Structure 1
């Protein structure tokens, strides 16, 4: 098969769940004999079209700022939607367009109809009424675009059971559940980092990730564990604010900020830590939770209706309210316990790739 993935951000230049999903599935499809193309913004230098790990990357437009005032840029979404419309210049067996940032789904739909190519939309989360919180009064536009996107094709993939249920509640059926995963064999081979820590977080530094709550939890724990060490890995619009909170709470010796790291280095830091905390109130899946658990860590996350990561964790003792006090209590319990509840084993990228390959084939007869 000749498959085209469509998304504005591309791994390894931009690190996030959707980017990693396309990369991991894409390179495995190549190894299984398929031709894989990825249409995205041009995050690299040099030619507009390059090949990496067998995947053909097409830079349909120059890289632009993803966030404005801490929120995803609407101009960037419109820009990539337009560039997608003019950039899908080849014949494929199918398009797999990620739902975000919506407008490329409409461009892909036009190409799909004109060339009679199946269009799959992969859904990482449904925002629904959250749009009003994100955009205020303009939220109705976001919600309308999201709803219209569900009507562009009959072929939908949901990366989590929560997202599948949300789509069903919107009147969409014919949804294939194909989750995200982790490279379990690779994780097993990576050695721990020499930089040890007690608590670790990794991800984009955005408001809904609630890393400020984690920092306040570390401040509480410092009374019981004066030398507690926490590593926060990632970049994002909240970084300077988080560093400011760290200084205000006199935690410079306890909390260490690191930029986004290569995959091996990230896993190495996880393996040299004791507890992974994901205090996010909005996760379409929570791939990093799978990776942390596969690296041998218990994972703490919060009980929130928009947090699909909580569905991964079968041990309710690791799920708590969004509260610095409760998170501190959970961390303390786990630091004093050797019990690690594992849930990662069903999320191997090799098996997930076989599942999506089988699904793609049903669309091509």
Structure 2
């Protein structure tokens, strides 16, 4: 089977959707011919074969400029879409073509030239949830994807529900392929934890809520002076600088870590804090849980992890933003509660392996 994946980005550039695509694609059958078509960010190789996958990168873009503050500049989005179309034409026909939800313009400008079944992988549905002109454009482009795609892949049941209710997609045209966790991340036994260690992992961008976490942490230190906060990830330099100005004693910015370094952070942390206002299906939550680290996240309308990954009172806590401080204090002060959440978190993550998720994707691709 010959399959094309038209993606907004691909490793070495790493974010949640990139990790999802990478972990699913590399586990598809080795006998398949798989091509990834994606922009070239930050001087990555233009052409390479990566774990039996043909990767075709085009253009030359800077990730901070493109992903700044979670938005996508229209001029760059148009340029990327045009180059994606050229690459698709050059590679010929496919048995199936899978688009990532972002960049929305890429599907709009290329789908008419793709004769094979077209699938869209959705991590979130934002139509009707963004104000202003940007929200109107978002809704129109999402509707275009929903109506013209052959089949849809939803990251969880909530996204499937939104596709049905917002864009009126027939449930028969939607398959759920969840996010998973790499088996290498799963701790075989309870690791040694650093008492009071909080961890954040993700992009440093406003909608991730790191600024709110830093303000909460400064208050937490008054009742738990031994508490520390490690922040893993990178983002726009000016925004990162503003975060560092909010940091109090006990906060460390670690930047981007290697896989082994990241696993060590998960294993030493008592809690992962996910203060995101907008989240599709949090990969870092699963990775933390695999290492006996429960998750505290906020109950925000666009944070879908609250219903997909974090089960309140079982493997973590879901609280109102105004109650985040109380939640952190409660877990750090109650060892029985923390141990229960930790054990359940590990059990939950073990059931969400990438191998199982990739098998589901394989079945979907064979069926279209």
Give the structure-2-normalised TM-score.
0.88
Shift of 1:102: 0.5
Instruction: State the alpha-carbon separation in 2 of the partners of residues 28 and 8 from structure 1.
Output: 20
User: Quick one: structure 1 residues 354 and 67, their matched pair in 2 at CA, closer, same or farther if it must change by over 3 Å?
Assistant: closer
The residue that corresponds to 1:73 in the other structure is 73
The residue that corresponds to 1:182 in the other structure is 181
Shift of 1:218: 1.0
The residue that corresponds to 1:57 in the other structure is 55
Deviations 1:74-104 (A, max 9, x none): 2222121111111112222111100111111
**SS of residue matched to 1:147:** helix
**Retained in 1: the 8 A contact 2:190–2:292?**
no
Q: Residue 289 in 1 paired to residue 304 in 2?
A: no
How many positions carry a matched residue from both structures?
348
The residue that corresponds to 1:339 in the other structure is 340
Instruction: State the alpha-carbon separation in 2 of the partners of residues 162 and 46 from structure 1.
Output: 34
**Retained in 1: the 8 A contact 2:185–2:287?**
no
The residue that corresponds to 1:83 in the other structure is 83
The residue that corresponds to 1:275 in the other structure is 271
Shift of 1:157: 0.5
**SS of residue matched to 1:256:** strand
Shift of 1:127: 0.7
Shift of 1:54: 1.8
Deviations 1:29-84 (A, max 9, x none): 15x42222111112365752111222211012222431356633222221211111
Instruction: State the alpha-carbon separation in 1 of the partners of residues 223 and 197 from structure 2.
Output: 13
Give the structure-1-normalised TM-score.
0.89
Instruction: State the alpha-carbon separation in 2 of the partners of residues 298 and 70 from structure 1.
Output: 26
Shift of 1:129: 2.1
**SS of residue matched to 1:59:** strand
Q: Residue 211 in 1 paired to residue 210 in 2?
A: yes
Residue from 39, 42, 46 that aligns with 1:41: 39
Deviations 1:266-309 (A, max 9, x none): 12111111100001121111111111111110101111221111
CA RMSD of aligned residues (A): 2.2
Residue from 242, 257, 260 that aligns with 2:256: 260
Mean CA deviation greater in 60-69 or 152-161: 60-69
The residue that corresponds to 1:153 in the other structure is 149
Residue from 101, 105, 108 that aligns with 1:106: 108
**Retained in 2: the 8 A contact 1:106–1:152?**
no
Mean CA deviation greater in 283-292 or 196-205: 196-205
Deviations 1:175-213 (A, max 9, x none): 111111111344337997998861000001111111111
Residue from 131, 138, 143 that aligns with 1:142: 138
Instruction: State the alpha-carbon separation in 1 of the partners of residues 112 and 81 from structure 2.
Output: 12
**Retained in 2: the 8 A contact 1:42–1:48?**
yes
The residue that corresponds to 1:22 in the other structure is 21
Structure 1 stretches lacking a partner, 5+ long = none
Instruction: State the alpha-carbon separation in 1 of the partners of residues 359 and 130 from structure 2.
Output: 34
Instruction: State the alpha-carbon separation in 2 of the partners of residues 188 and 202 from structure 1.
Output: 18
Give the structure with the higher percent helix.
Answer: 2
Q: How does 1:223-262 map to 2 (within 5 A)?
A: 223-237=222-236, 238-246=239-247, 251=248, 253-262=249-258
**Retained in 1: the 8 A contact 2:7–2:102?**
yes
